[in-house]
Amino acid sequence: TRRPDVVIVVDDGSPVDLSPAFSAWPEAASFASVRMLENTGPAGARSVGLRLLRHWRGDRGLVVCLTDSDAAPDRRWCEAMLEVQNETPGIYSGPTLSLTESHTGSFHDHFGNLNGRWTWDD
């Protein structure tokens, strides 16, 4: 499994201390965390993380994998995304499955509306 070069965690104003979860990424070459004072939603948190990454690492051929606190990516997730990017650069999304047994979770799993289905090229 390929180690991530950088892990950036943006705590989007959650009421829970997330710092104990940061120990799950000891294999990353570089790690940073940001705690926002207010919840700005997923787009705001991702924008903060991407700005930090660009400031820290520049624009040198980055492959960025985004996830959320309620997601549990497969251990090979970043590696698989990198393989796809090396073959055909673009924007990709892997499969997303609901972990709940609710009707809503079953709906999402059946219709695949949590999954990206497209790729966009420049």
Containing structural domain, residue 50: 6-70
Residue 91, domain member (yes or no) = no
In a domain, 1, yes or no: no
Give a yes or no: residue 104 inside a domain: no
Q: Is residue 55 part of a domain?
A: yes
How far apart are the C-alpha atoms of 121 and 112, rounded to whole Å?
A: 22
Torsion of CA 112, 62, 58, 45, to 10 degrees: 20
Q: Residue 48 domain-assigned?
A: yes
pLDDT digits (tens, 9 = 90+) for 46-86: 899 889 888 877 777 677 888 877 777 777 878 888 888 88
In a domain, 46, yes or no: yes
Q: How many domains does the chain have?
A: 1
21 inside domain: yes
95-108 confidence digits (pLDDT tens):
666 666 776 667 66
